[in-house]
A and B are shown apart, each in its own frame.
Chain A
Amino acid sequence: MLHFLLLGAGLFLLFRLVASDSGAPREIVISEPRVEALAQSFSRTWMRPPTAQELNGLVEDYIKEEIYYREAVTMGLDRDDVVIRRRLRQKLEFVSEDTAATLQPTDEQLQDYLRQHAEKFVQPGRLSFQQVLFSVERRGESARRDAGKLIHQLEAGRGPADPTQAGDATLLPAGLDDASPQDIASTFGEDFAKQIDEAPVGQWSGPFQSSYGWHLVRVAARTPDVAPKLEQVRPVVLREWQFEQNQKLGGEFYQSLRNQYDVRVEGELGVLLEKYKAAGSEAAR
């Protein structure tokens, strides 16, 4: 129990051990490693070592910071500061995060993960298609009718050799190659993407509606959904697995720390809350 009560002090001890700048209480010793660290920090920022004057300035600034730091801690300014408390909590939370990041799972573990979360890694089928737009802006009501007319002609074998010439000028691409449902939705809207999901391959079909007007579509190729093998998606699976481990580890880390503490709340929360609210309305009167 005792050594876990030292946990709180541990962090400060850590800094002091490592910084090795403190001797007697009012003594500040700037060690060689400290000077090196300051010089190194400068070098990395400015891509060159500091001049003597610059290094002097860095040391002076560090001394000032150390003095203010000690005085502030002595005064207990760190105790109830929300920012400091949250920051220190965050730094410890990084500990479990770093742990997860170094974990190297076996292929079997990754295979298991892939199997259990198959839907996350499915590569959706892709479409290659051309489209012709009959713009609602340019044609108004007749957009649908014009599109319908052309598809009838094409179905009857009477259509123009190049139907793409029949449509309107637009920023929309004349087609997409090897596009996922997401790609199609990003450009044409989700409705349109859903509609052409069933469009036949190798012929013109439609009219399909989007917020831009009416389209005829000719699907050139469609590939099915693929459940990938581990070799194909290993980096992504690893990343997701590590993420999950991270969450788990964070919980375990906190739990093992918490188990070392004797925690109690002084009274029932519900009662305390009523007391608080009553005091509030008293003050208001």
Chain B
Amino acid sequence: MRTVRKQNLLILGLAVAAFALPAVAQEHAATDVGTLDKQTAGKAFPAKPPYSPYAGRNFPTRPFFGDTHLHTSLSVDAGAFGNRLTPVDAYRFAKGEEITASSGQQVKLSRPLDFLVVADHSDAMGLFPLIFGGDPKVLATEKGRKWYDLIQSGKGAEAAVDIITSFGAGTIPPEIIPLPGTPLYRSVWQDIIKAAEGANDPGRFTAFIGFEWTSVTAGNNLHRNVIFRDNAEKASRTEPYTTQKPLGSDNPRDLWKWMTAYEEKTGGDVLALAHNGNLSNGRMFPIIESFTGKPIDREYAEQSAKWEHLYEATQIKGDGETHPFLSPNDEFANYERWDKGNLDLTVAKKPEMLEFEYARSALKNGLKLEKELGINPYKFGLVGSTDAHTALAAVEEDNFFGKTSSSEPSAGRAMHPFIKTEKATFMGWETVASGYAAVWAKENTRESIFDAMERREAYATTGSRMVVRFFGGFDFEAKDANNRMPAQIGYTKGVPMGGDLNHAPAGKVPTFLVAALKDPIGANLDRYQIVKGWVDAKGDVHEKVYDVAWSGDRKPGKDGKVPAVGNTVDVANATWSNTIGAPELITVWKDPDFDPAQSAFYYGRVIEIPTPRWTAYDAKKFDVKMPPEVRMTTTERAYTSPIWYTP
């Protein structure tokens, strides 16, 4: 105590001295709290970091898990499939409460999520809320007052029926019928905003305002979710952009124009998050723009680079990281592929489409286009999300509540077709229990998580809650992997996932400090890989996958690859054991094939040991026998946002 007080007095004295004395470097100064020499002054203003390792931290210390893509009954297609849950229900569920699903079953997450975006489609609604909301014009009429009082005294049902009756009989006071200038229909958008505001709990849970722009002309998926950093005040001033002309458009360029107008007029902040390139039949990441038939131009690249900092690389309708056709040397590339055609399976897939559909390929082409256009249009980080139309962000393998309310758990859901046309079929069992977005933000608030998304400090998971770090720099050394505070070293000596490395210092190569922690209730980890993509002097793109950390004492084979980790899955009982794999992997890796003249990106891919797939849990719980073609095991993974190297 006395030392502290003395230190405070010293600081006070120093402050006083600074005012009182001439600004000349002095070895000591006489003040009215004693003589201040350099040594003592040094103690008051230490040059070293504080003793407490947790003080002064200014970087994210934990990932926040969430879903950036959930639909409720407000989405017409969700409601049509039997969804009866509202955004309010969706938020309750995400916060960890047990609720009743649309199919009548009780459901609860294993753990709450940290954030949620309810991304419904917008539409017009009715005018009852004007009446119920206590609008002064309404209250001024006798009927209006009567209804309002009925509602307030708990007889709301009686009031509602009376209103409907009055409409039928034509006895609604004319003052109540919407006047010019007042919105004829309360938009569902207002419902969405209200629910988000009600659920948003800064520091504990973040509810983002958002919507889905559902461009799917001729069945080709170009969907983007739009997420607002803003709260109701700004978001209410606009209407979500639709895809129907004349008000809307199915062209992403027009969506970007809408986003520009919104930000300019309101001072707000929005981002766009695309998904399901795998169902776009070659249109999601074009080199030749499908709308014009011409190569994408500088403006397209600028706008894409400006608005689309993240891509939803894994979700219920297939994993979008890469494809075996594009990555023939990647033995983990064939994971939950949905590659038969476009979204409504009206047009079958052709191999030449694949290059413009998958994340890794787009990241590579982005480097190529950067050389030609001066800007990289496909410089995005990666997240996962569900796209569930059940209002339930439920994609754990043993807790998968399906894509639509008609595919909530039941004995027949796996063998019921999801989409079936004469071109192809996607069976129910092919739907994937995936994924979540993990964001490295400093706090659980809209601003903090949104900003982290914008700087791409995020990663995708296929449903597990692995904690994954990925730092790049020129100065990481092997011993950094033993540092008790890996994040501190990571942020100090390098950049986190989503960041940039420029101009390698002479003789130095990119080094990466990588770490992954298994989900506390999940499976052990098999390996941590780094995927590298680069463009050479000729303008050709390349990729390579490196195993950088793995469990046990496996040794890379002659082909440089680490052998498989094994399999403890008991399909019949839908169990596995963590007797293989590792709970944590940390290492430092140096690029052995670096060429400082070539633009490149690196991202981390973490793979768990095999675990039962949701189909195995279904088979056990409903006592059904799945046909041989049904996948019964899975290997959950995480994909980090890349770090880009620019010469």
Contacts and interface: CB of A to CB of B under 8 A. Distances in A.
Interface of A: 3-4, 6-7, 9-11, 13-14, 17-18, 32-33, 36-37, 40-42, 44-48, 54, 57-58, 61, 82-83, 86-87, 90-91, 94-104, 135-137, 164-165, 167, 169-174, 182, 185-190, 192, 210-213, 239, 243, 249, 252-253, 255-257
A41 B239 contact: yes
Given A135-B584, A174-B53, A9 B168 contact: yes
The 7 closest A-B pairs by CB, nearest first: A47-B265, A10-B168, A99-B156, A189-B520, A6-B168, A252-B157, A253-B157
A173 B241 CA distance: 42
A48 B258 CA distance: 11
B270 interface: no
Given A47-B262, A99-B160, A171 B111 contact: no
Interface string B493-529: 0000000000000000000000111101100000000
B183 A137 contact: no
A210 B520 contact: yes
A285 B481 CA distance: 71
Nearest to B242: A45
Contacts of A6: 165, 168-169
Contacts of A189: 520-521
A173 B61 contact: yes
Given A103-B152, A137-B551, A187-B520, A18 B584 contact: no
A33 B481 CA distance: 68
B111 A182 contact: yes
B572 interface: no
B517 A212 contact: yes
B583 A213 contact: yes
Max chain A CB contacts within 10 Å: which of B154, B156, B164, B469?
B156
A47 B167 contact: no
Interface range for B: 35 or more
B264 interface: yes
B592 interface: no
Contacts of B486: 169-171
Contact of B258 (A10, A45, A182): A45
B483 A96 contact: no
B582 A137 contact: yes
B76 A186 contact: no
B199 to A, nearest CB: 9
B628 interface: no
A7 B164 contact: yes
Contacts of A136: 583
Given A13-B167, A99-B160, A189-B521, A171 B578 contact: no
Given A33-B180, A213-B583, A87 B247 contact: no
Given A98-B132, A102-B134, A45 B126 contact: no
B165 A3 contact: yes
B390 interface: no
Contacts of A94: 125-126, 128, 191
B416 to A, nearest CB: 17
A13 B262 CA distance: 36
B79 interface: yes
B556 interface: no
B596 interface: no
B411 interface: no
